[in-house]
Amino acid sequence: MQPNELRARLQGVISFPVTPFKADLSLDLDGLKKNLRSLLQHPICAVVAAAGTGELYSLSPSEHLAVVKATVAEVNGRVPVIAGTGFNPPIAAELARQAAAAGASGILAFPPYYPSPDDDGLIAYYCGIAEATSLGMLIYSRDWFNPGPALVERLAQIPNLIAWKDGQADLRRYQMIRQRIGNRLHWIGGAGDDMVPGYYSIGIRTYTSSIANVAPRLSLKLHEVAAAGNAKELTALMDELVIPLYALRAQRKGYEVSAMKAMMDMIGLVGGPVRPPLVDLRPNEIDALHATVERWRAWL
């Protein structure tokens, strides 16, 4: 898929599937395929394999390739498959190249392992990933990587960089970046389903959803009502369904993955445990999550 073709396809909800593990923490590729078959019954616009919700940083390169291959095979061209990559320059380039060879449509570049390096080093890092393949690349601004407009403007010179995924939820900074860069990049809301009201209020119309692992109908409804400017219905969905879940997810680091996996297990999909350093939910939190699932029944 050419970079501009991928960019044009990124309208609406992008799903970030979990990477299911068995009890011994080995890959559960059959479980992944089962989850994807359920997900693809709904009109999401793209799937991101082995990324944040997919526990990229817990995977070996060979496991990463297995997840990408399984995802590409199950999706079978219905929507673009974007593969996560990161760590350091040689590993990031290796993951990008093997994902491209496996049939991925694009690359999502995570920040490097080294926190807060010089801007020139960051430019070199992202250029190296972009040069590893001819695929369109998206950059994911998250954790310590929270650049200002000047650095994003420099990164926007990378020819096959097509989109920017915000993971900071800093709308003030995001507006300044978008004003500086304009339509050179496609802008994606990537900090969570709970940020849909904020992102859509500033004109963004694509967001990445972890909730889509459990309730893609709800993810798509959030996009629909937010894009239509239906503030009353959007607020009701947020207050009743989304914000309580995100409150639970905020209780411990990594619960943005653990909670979704636990919910998937509850409804007959395949989540499984998380790998260290993430931790699974505690028993009392599982009980609270069961109550959340009951409130969500109409959307499952």
Backbone dihedral angles phi then psi of residue 257, each to the nearest 5 degrees: -95, -50
Three-class HEC string of the chain:
CCHHHHHHHCCEEEECCCCCECCCCCECHHHHHHHHHHHCCCCCCEEEECCCCCCHHHCCHHHHHHHHHHHHHHHCCCCCEEEEEEECHHHHHHHHHHHHHCCCCEEEEEEECCCCCCHHHHHHHHHHHHHHCCCEEEEEECCCCCCCHHHHHHHCCCCCEEEEEECCCCHHHHHHHHHHHHHHCEEEECCCHHHHHHHHHCCCCEEEECHHHCCHHHHHHHHHHHHCCCHHHHHHHHHHHHHHHHHHHCCCCCHHHHHHHHHHHHCCCCCCCCCCCCCCCCHHHHHHHHHHHHHCHHHC
Of the candidates 140, 153, 148, which has an alpha carbon nearest to the alpha carbon of residue 184?
Answer: 153
Residue 112: how many other CB atoms lie within 10 Å: 21
Of the candidates 119, 99, 7, 114, which has an alpha carbon nearest to the alpha carbon of residue 56?
Answer: 99
Of the candidates 298, 171, 168, which has an alpha carbon nearest to the alpha carbon of residue 237?
Answer: 298
Which residues have a catalytic role annotated? 140, 165
